[in-house]
Amino acid sequence: MIGRRVRRTVTPRPDSTLWPAVIVAAFCLCISTLAGQAPPSVEYRLSFPAPQHRWLAVDVRFDGVGEAPLHVRMSSASPGRYARHEFAKNLIEISFTGSDDAAVEVVRRGPAHWEVAGHGGEVRARYRLFGDRTDGTYLAVDATHAHMNAPATLLWAEGLEERAARVTLTPPDGEAWSVATQLFPTGDPLTYTAPNLAYLLDSPIEFSDFTLRTFTVPDPADPAHRPTFRVAVHHAGGEAGLAEYVAAVESVVRETVPIFGEFPRFETGTYTFIADYLPAASGDAMEHRNSTVLTAPAGLDGAGSRTRLLGSVSHEFVHAWNVERIRPHSLEPFDFTAANVSGDLWLAEGFTNYYGALILQRAGLVGAGATLARFERVIDTVVNGAGRQFRSVVEMSRMAPFTDAATAIDPTNFENTFISYYVWGEAIALGLDLALRERTGGRVTLDDYMQALWERFGRTGAGVPGVVTTPYTPADAEAVLGRAAGDPAFAREFFARYIDGREVVDYVRLLEQAGIVMRAVAPGRAALGALPLGGGMRVARSTGYGSPLHAAGIDRDDVITSFDGRRVTSGSDLRRLAGSKRPGDRVRLGFRRLGRDLETTVTLAADNRFELVLLESTGATPSPGQMSFRRAWLGSRQ
């Protein structure tokens, strides 16, 4: 921004004399002299002398840090990943020196916290770090690339969070790797800057021989604003499928912007998709302010494989608005030393998930069959999920530190106590979209709600890159819904019942508006519910609270041996026999527990599986009203 303004000022207008230009030049000199007095930046130098051994070397300098001890930290959390991750565990070695490389006193204050004293105003840290996971959270170094999530890679110092940072990369000997990142470029293609620590740690870096494609899309609200989109793909497949993939990414971008009405002002003028589609990559994706990381052990050469990758593209791109700029207070500021607890992930992640699916549908990248199958799974997970007996979607959001790629060695009971806020939030978004359309005759939709949130909380003002100045609270989210719907009482009731409460909307009625039928797969048929069987007839996981098996006292490690006096040897046997009865029938169930043969009585339930189908597939004809509802909802908005 500053560079552009200065350039415009020094360009003499045709009628100007020489003097104003000279004055402007002198003024610019003053600015650059002042800039020279700004606090020193933090300097990172990254090198990769032996990438095949999966480590990198980092040399960090903190200058002008005064006389007090400096508290240096590795992060224990990474924005967008809601559990703790101890990135310091992969340090191979670390050392600190002070001014003139003199020895310093170092006290290890915590697993990822060093107190450095006696440094004489300057601290230098040198470390080597192992990393072998290509995804959105961790660090991977190998002979083909360095794929770096910043909190997993860069240590930092307390009290210097507002300082700018400079990152310089040196490729392995003989490699001509280049850099894909949202960091600010400099004249040197291997050196980048960040205006502060929050932006630095939000900036992943892919350093490899990737393929780069770019396109621009005009902002519908301001055609002069044409952000550049970069697609950096590190993959093994050459050109096959690449052009089709990039075209699909562009159609995702074009289909997303009408939802919010305008593009964010990406601070560098660009948004970068960093895609690593490699055999050794993990299936993952992570949002950042002006970029996203997309990883999968898949190639681009098959249409089916490409389509599966696009769900992450659309989800993560929606995050450029929802979460990166429309950000809940519970995630701002982000705590790099612990997990932020947020009750708002149903909106931050769940609504993003809904749009991720809807955008692919609207852009014609998937068909209605795939979209209905997805919504079917989503509604089923929520309607039939045992966790809804215990927690609202707000409380599920607060489970994220335990569930979002969190690792533990003891078993959990999440199949009974947890429903993903991604899925439940998506179900709420679907219900709210349909409910808004229903009550306003299609005049107000979920897009209007997202746009209202964008205008109130997301639109970027003169803020500092990396810092969200106006995060929202749950009360704000409800108030904006009330305004968008033109009815605060509707918003209050919706939040009370479906967000703070544990009810679900009437999907049957709401979907009917679009000529979509939600119906039982096997009406009147009896069932045992989910059968969490492992090898053979052993119950491998907790039986579902409220399910027939659970009510009959069956649980983990029991081995089911007979049903109604007949020996059973497979899950399909058991399902078939149960299906031959009627809901409510009481049947003897034999099982083996701890070496003893036992018997119980199970009361069969009604088969609760359902499906979503287009009305026309049932032989009926949708009304013109249903067809226009469907087009307005699922059709392109471009």
Binding site for Zn ion (CB under 5 A): 349
CB of 462 to Zn ion, least distance (A): 27
Instruction: Look up tokens 């909106």; give the residue.
Output: 347
CB of 564 to Zn ion, least distance (A): 47
Q: How far apart are CA 288 and CA 264, in angstroms?
A: 13
User: Which residue, 357 or 444, has its beta carbon nearer to Zn ion?
Assistant: 357
CB of 25 to Zn ion, least distance (A): 48
User: Which residue, 206 or 349, has its beta carbon nearer to Zn ion?
Assistant: 349
CB of 400 to Zn ion, least distance (A): 11
CB of 533 to Zn ion, least distance (A): 32
User: Which residue, 344 or 349, has its beta carbon nearer to Zn ion?
Assistant: 349
Within 13 Å and on the Cβ side, how many CA atoms surround 208?
Answer: 26
Is 45 within 8 Å of 58 (Cβ atoms)? yes
The C-alpha R_g of the chain, in whole angstroms, comes to: 28
What lies within 8 Å, CB to CB, of 414 at 6+ separation is 387, 403
User: Which residue, 98 or 350, has its beta carbon nearer to Zn ion?
Assistant: 350
User: Which residue, 299 or 311, has its beta carbon nearer to Zn ion?
Assistant: 311
Quick one: tokens of 451?
A: 């746009």
User: Which residue, 122 or 324, has its beta carbon nearer to Zn ion?
Assistant: 324
Chain-centroid distance of CA 508 in Å reads: 30
Question: ∠ at Cα 364 (358, 367), nearest 5°?
Answer: 80
- DSSP conformation letters of 380-448: HHHHS-GGGGT--HHHHHTTHHHHSS---SS---HHHH---HHHHHHHHHHHHHHHHHHHHTTSS-HHH
User: Which residue, 241 or 458, has its beta carbon nearer to Zn ion?
Assistant: 458
What lies within 8 Å, CB to CB, of 492 at 6+ separation is 478, 482
User: Which residue, 142 or 349, has its beta carbon nearer to Zn ion?
Assistant: 349
CB of 326 to Zn ion, least distance (A): 13
User: Which residue, 60 or 427, has its beta carbon nearer to Zn ion?
Assistant: 427
CA separation, residue 557 to residues 533, 536, 540, 581 (Å): 9, 11, 6, 26
CA separation, residue 332 to residues 217, 357, 459 (Å): 30, 27, 16
The strands making up 139-142's β-sheet, listed across from edge to edge, are 139-142, 145-148, 205-208, 178-181
- Burial class, 52, CB count within 10 angstroms (exposed 0-12 / middle 13-18 / buried 19+): exposed
CB of 294 to Zn ion, least distance (A): 12
CA separation, residue 602 to residues 182, 253, 553, 578, 595 (Å): 58, 52, 9, 10, 21
- DSSP conformation letters of 152-180: HH--EETT-TTS-EEEEEEPPTT---EEE
CB of 338 to Zn ion, least distance (A): 20
User: Which residue, 349 or 607, has its beta carbon nearer to Zn ion?
Assistant: 349
CB of 48 to Zn ion, least distance (A): 30
Quick one: tokens of 298?
A: 């898949």
User: Which residue, 79 or 466, has its beta carbon nearer to Zn ion?
Assistant: 79
Q: How far apart are CA 33 and CA 26, in angstroms?
A: 11
User: Which residue, 128 or 319, has its beta carbon nearer to Zn ion?
Assistant: 319
CB of 5 to Zn ion, least distance (A): 35
User: Which residue, 122 or 404, has its beta carbon nearer to Zn ion?
Assistant: 404
Map residue 526 onto helix, strand or coil. Answer: strand
Q: How far apart are CA 527 and CA 582, in angstroms?
A: 8
CB of 427 to Zn ion, least distance (A): 16
CB of 362 to Zn ion, least distance (A): 19
DSSP at 124: E
Is 73 within 8 Å of 113 (Cβ atoms)? yes
CB of 357 to Zn ion, least distance (A): 13
User: Which residue, 349 or 512, has its beta carbon nearer to Zn ion?
Assistant: 349
Residue nearest to Zn ion (CB): 349
Map residue 362 onto helix, strand or coil. Answer: helix
CB of 445 to Zn ion, least distance (A): 22
Q: How far apart are CA 202 and CA 81, in angstroms?
A: 12
Is 10 within 8 Å of 24 (Cβ atoms)? yes
Give φ, ψ of 437 to 5 degrees.
-65, -40
